């Protein structure tokens, strides 16, 4: 089954404790990206990757890191989480091209205390 898989789905952590949210897609898509969803703000892009070893900042990259060592994986790293990073996070992938549908994972709800 074609899908984008995120882990963990739910996480409660404390300020400053490094964490990684993994994302994996099995559709051989070129593009991958991370979004955060907050009430009243919609979906905002954090980082994106156009291919292996190619990443770039989205609209709200502060406090986050990413890596793209393999085509299928695109982990999101919070080196020192803060309470303002409490949010619902989505990973997405798309084959790219002229008009490409974004395929989203099911989301990871992160709470930073």
Among 8, 18, 59, 83, binds other proteins (CB under 8 A): 59
How far apart, in whole angstroms, are the C-alpha atoms of residue 89 and residue 86? 9
User: What's the number of CA atoms in the CB half-sphere (13 Å) around residue 10?
Assistant: 0
Interaction between residue 85 and other proteins (CB under 8 A): no
Instruction: Show the binding pattern over residues 7-46: x = contacts other proteins (CB under 8 A), - = does not.
Output: ------------------------xxx-x----xxxxxx-
Report the candidate in 23, 1, 24, 26 with the shortest Cα–Cα distance to residue 89: 23
Segment contacting other proteins by CB under 8 A, of 14-22, 62-70, 75-83, 88-96: 88-96
């Amino acid at each position: 089954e074609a899908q984008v898989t995120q882990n963990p789905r739910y996480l409660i952590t404390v300020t400053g404790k490094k964490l990684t949210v993994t994302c994996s897609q099995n559709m051989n898509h070129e593009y991958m990206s991370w979004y955060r969803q907050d009430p009243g703000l919609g979906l905002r892009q954090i980082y994106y990757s156009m291919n292996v070893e190619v990443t770039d900042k989205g609209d709200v990259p502060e406090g986050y890191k990413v890596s793209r060592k393999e085509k299928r994986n695109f982990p999101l790293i919070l080196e020192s989480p803060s309470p303002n990073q409490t949010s619902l996070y989505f990973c997405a992938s798309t084959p790219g091209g002229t008009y490409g549908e974004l395929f989203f994972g099911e989301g990871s709800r992160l709470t930073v205390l």
